[in-house]
Amino acid sequence: MVAGGFGALLREQRVSMGWSQDELAERSGVSARSIVSLETGRRRPRLSSVVQLADALGVDVGTRSQWLKAARDTPPATPRTPAVGPAPAAAPPPAVGPAPAGPVVPQQLPAAVRHFTGRVRELKELDALLTEQARGGGAVVISAIGGTAGVGKTSLAVHFAHRVAHRFPDGQLFADLRGFDPDSPALDAARVARGFLDALGVPAPRIPADPDGQLALYRSRLAGTSTLIVLDNAREAEQVRPLLPGSDSCLVLVTSRNRLPGLVALDGAVPLALDVLPREEALELLARRLGPEPVMAQTEAAEELIELCARLPLALNIAAARAADHPGTPLGVWADELRGAGARLDLLSAGNDHADVRAVLSWSYRALDPQAARLFRLLGLHPGPHIRPAAAAALAGLPPQRTRRLLESLHHAHLLAAPDRDRYTFHDLLRAYAVEQLADHDSAQEQSEATLRMLDHYLHTTHHAGSLAYADDSAWQPLDPEPPAAGVTPQALTDRGQALAWYRDEQPVLQSITVRAHQAGFDDHAWRLAGTQMPYLLKSGLWQQWQEVGEIALAAAERTADLARQAHAHRWLGQVHRSQGRQPEAHRELRRAYELFSTLGDRTRQGRTQLDIAIAHGEQQAYADALAEGRRALELFEEIDDLSGQALSLNTVGWYLTFLGRPREALPYCRRALELSRRAGNLPAQASIWHSIGFVHHHLGEYQEALAAYPESLSLRRTLGDYFLQAEVHTHIGDSQHALGDTEAARRSWTESLAILERLQHRDADAVRARLENQAGPRE
């Protein structure tokens, strides 16, 4: 007779598949004899067997839930009385409490996240842990999933746990350790173990009264089992360690807002740090919540929305939920609402603390000690995208070593990310929260003093870097700043190479710091910061950044009515317009600079600006006008006995004589220019002049002589970090090589030039590309 309940369900499903009991046994790993016993009710089902059979038969989620309930409700099988032999002896009664029930398989995982998206890389890393476990390493496998508030640690852990639950037939345990709950204390390990013992079906009378005994019994019950344990929201390793089982067939997933180095170092946990979502996964999340059509139709607004949410999963889900409630509202409307940093946190709330970005960030902030909390707030004054320890020390007015320890404590709490040991950053929502806390806890005077220290740090460091990298360059403005405020230590730099590397690494920071200085009304700092960046931006071909800081410099100079600073700013803007091919704007700015320098009696700057005007004429192919301006500049520099100015003017005259078809006449000018530049010790001028000498020889048909001169220029350009002008020299080297018939060498030189120009997005890239396509064969 077929039993009701689980046995009937099992038989019905097996028959519907057309399988015999032997076939099901082969597919599931459960013996045919056990299947017969289950179907006839002679044996109570173990939940591990239920899971194996469900997987083999491919039952859906609803049926599996029905099976598990039926299995739990099936009464213990009544033992059969043997036909022959004495009656079995009665078992002795237990010392305490009733006899244990059959094995219980806990299923404690929370519901899976419906709209879980992405985390492809992280899921692969977690899958790798299971592969490691299958190899049998002899120890429990632990993953420590860390990340800032709202980044999706619990969602990832629960999603992965559901995905692999079938591989742990002895059940899944879950506990929220409440490590950062603002309203209640964190759970201690013994209390969690007591709850797990209940879930494992241990009768209350058999559970020891003392906490250590409870922990020992919990670990004993897990010994030899294959159980998945999720310990969510841990505060520290000590809260987790007593709950680690000894069985190497168990997997433990731990999530925490803090880094848990002790768990990694002492317990072999594998750290998995979650960052905000990559752009593609953030867009996928929106598409899942809102449907792919509206997201694809409004890609630009969707991308702005995900950036305003800092690609933080919690913020994105809240924003998506609000948008889903108003399906007719364009995504751009929601982006507009989120643009204000203060309003952003107000809007990113779904009505309770667990779905409120400000609230979940506050839980991590409240756990900080006072000095770390103050530094976190002050970091809200820094515009990013990253900050180094020396700059953070200046911002806080603290010694560098003490500041580094505080930065590490913020990193430990996942309130700062650390791309490397010397840089720290946080996303825009954390910055907005820091700014809110700053307004609540720190006076306007304290904020102003901290801003001044921060600006002093960057100004004195850039001035020092510029004096190392560009001391012999006409683009450098050696205008010494006032002494820094107390507590400010500039970044330590010792040579040109370090200075250029610092400029390269810090350029995005310097850009944003210059904007912040202007916005905060520190006009002297804004103008000087612009000036100390100008040579690097010019030589690196960073045209957009160059124009932005030039406009800030001009606005700061006009606000203080400083004519000399206005003249410099007009010249900088003229140079960037000229470099970008906007010659009318270049002439306007350069003429204004020339007039102001003339009014001020600054004849050196007047002559340098005249050479800029000459180059602007040359860019328009008005070579006769360019030559005339170069000659006028030469006369002026001879009057004031400026050797560097004379060398640059002679070089300009030689360059444009060559363009006018008079290279033989040009060569003496260039040679005289080289002699004067060497006397003046001006390396940038020498780099330009060697380039001109090669160019003149090329136009004389003396290609070998040109190829002897160009490398001299290229070597100096590399030393000086002149990226754009390196590209120009490579182009002309390729021209001479091609003229000699060496097309392979020419193609290599032009390819090097094109790589630089494409990186700089310079308009000259088209001309070099045409050389490669039309003269030197297919582009590599």
- Chain-centroid distance, C-alpha 261: 22
Domain span at residue 395 reads 358-469
Q: Tell whether 323 is covered by a domain.
A: yes
User: Quick one: pLDDT at residue 262?
Assistant: 87
Q: Which amino acid is present at 250?
A: C
Model pLDDT for residues 291-342, shown as the tens digit of each residue = 888 888 888 889 988 888 888 888 888 888 888 888 878 888 888 878 765 5
Confidence of residue 691 (pLDDT cuts 50, 70, 90): very high
C-alpha 51/C-alpha 69 separation (Å) is: 12
Both structure tokens of 422 = 């010397």
Q: Tell whether 691 is covered by a domain.
A: no
- 301 and 332 assigned to the same domain: yes
Both structure tokens of 307 = 């950036």
- 334 and 376 assigned to the same domain: no
Residue entry with tokens 């003392």: 210
- Please state the length of the chain: 780
Q: What DSSP element (H or E) covers 420?
A: strand 417-420
Q: Looking at 73, 101, 132, which one is the last position of a domain?
A: 73
- 124 and 258 assigned to the same domain: yes
Q: Tell whether 690 is covered by a domain.
A: no
Indicate the burial class of 413 (C-beta count within 10 angstroms; 0-12, 13-18, 19 or more): buried
User: Quick one: pLDDT at residue 61?
Assistant: 52
The verdict on whether omega for the bond into residue 385 sits within 30 degrees of 0, i.e. cis, is yes
User: Taking phi first (over 0 means left), then psi (-120 to 50 degrees means alpha), and beta for anything else, what does residue 495 get?
Assistant: beta
What total number of domains does the chain contain?
4
Q: pTM value?
A: 0.72
Across 167-282, where does the E strand assignment appear? 172-176, 228-234, 251-256, 270-273
Domain CATH number, residue 229: 3.40.50.300
Asked whether residue 676 carries a pLDDT value surpassing 70, the answer given is yes
- 155 and 266 assigned to the same domain: yes
Beta bridge partner(s), residue 230 = 174, 253
Confidence of residue 70 (pLDDT cuts 50, 70, 90): confident
C-alpha 216/C-alpha 243 separation (Å) is: 9
Average pLDDT over residues 605-627: 95
Percentage of the chain modeled with pLDDT above 90? 51
Q: DSSP code of 662?
A: -
C-alpha 585/C-alpha 203 separation (Å) is: 86
- 285 and 299 assigned to the same domain: yes
Q: What DSSP element (H or E) covers 424?
A: strand 423-425
Both structure tokens of 108 = 């404690």
| 11-20, 234-243, 481-490, 576-585: the lowest-pLDDT one | 11-20
CA distances to 306, 318, 533 from 284, in Å: 11, 15, 39
Q: Tell whether 774 is covered by a domain.
A: no
Model pLDDT for residues 373-401, shown as the tens digit of each residue = 999 999 999 998 999 999 999 999 999 99
User: Quick one: pLDDT at residue 1?
Assistant: 33
Residue 184, phi then psi, degrees to nearest 5: -150, 155
Q: Looking at 469, 485, 505, which one is the last position of a domain?
A: 469
Q: Tell whether 761 is covered by a domain.
A: no
Residue 555, phi then psi, degrees to nearest 5: -60, -40
Average pLDDT over residues 252-274: 90
- 265 and 329 assigned to the same domain: no
Confidence of residue 9 (pLDDT cuts 50, 70, 90): confident
- 172 and 147 assigned to the same domain: yes
> 334 vs 677, which has greater pLDDT?
677
Give the 3-state secondary structure of 46-113: CHHHHHHHHHHHCCCHHHHHHHHHHHHHCCCCCCCCCCCCCCCCCCCCCCCCCCCCCCCCCECCCCCC
C-alpha 107/C-alpha 172 separation (Å) is: 5
Radius of gyration of the chain (CA): 37
CA distances to 63, 514, 651, 717, 764 from 723, in Å: 67, 23, 20, 7, 13
Percentage of the chain modeled with pLDDT above 70? 89
Q: Which amino acid is present at 682?
A: N
- 246 and 297 assigned to the same domain: no
Beta bridge partner(s), residue 146 = 256, 273
Q: Tell whether 764 is covered by a domain.
A: no
SS3 content of the chain, % helix, strand, coil (to 5): 65, 5, 30
- 310 and 250 assigned to the same domain: no
Domain CATH number, residue 43: 1.10.260.40
Confidence of residue 94 (pLDDT cuts 50, 70, 90): very low
- 269 and 283 assigned to the same domain: no
- Chain-centroid distance, C-alpha 297: 27
Q: Tell whether 80 is covered by a domain.
A: no
User: Quick one: pLDDT at residue 3?
Assistant: 43
Beta bridge partner(s), residue 271 = 144
Domain CATH number, residue 445: 1.10.10.10
Mean pLDDT of the chain: 86
Q: Tell whether 413 is covered by a domain.
A: yes
- 228 and 190 assigned to the same domain: yes
C-alpha 708/C-alpha 695 separation (Å) is: 11
CA distances to 164, 271, 286, 385, 644 from 306, in Å: 30, 27, 8, 17, 52
| 86-90, 175-179, 244-248: the lowest-pLDDT one | 86-90
CA distances to 61, 337, 432, 778 from 343, in Å: 42, 7, 10, 55
- 260 and 130 assigned to the same domain: yes
Contact 13, 63 (CB under 8 A): yes
CA distances to 113, 134, 230, 348 from 354, in Å: 15, 36, 19, 11
Q: DSSP code of 387?
A: B
Model pLDDT for residues 705-759, shown as the tens digit of each residue = 999 999 999 999 998 888 888 999 999 999 999 999 999 999 999 999 999 988 8
Beta bridge partner(s), residue 527 = none
Give the 3-state secondary structure of 121-177: HHHHHHHHHHHHHHHCCCCCEEEEEECCCCCCHHHHHHHHHHHHHHHCCCCEEEEEC
Q: Looking at 451, 469, 487, which one is the last position of a domain?
A: 469
Strands 417-420 and 423-425: antiparallel
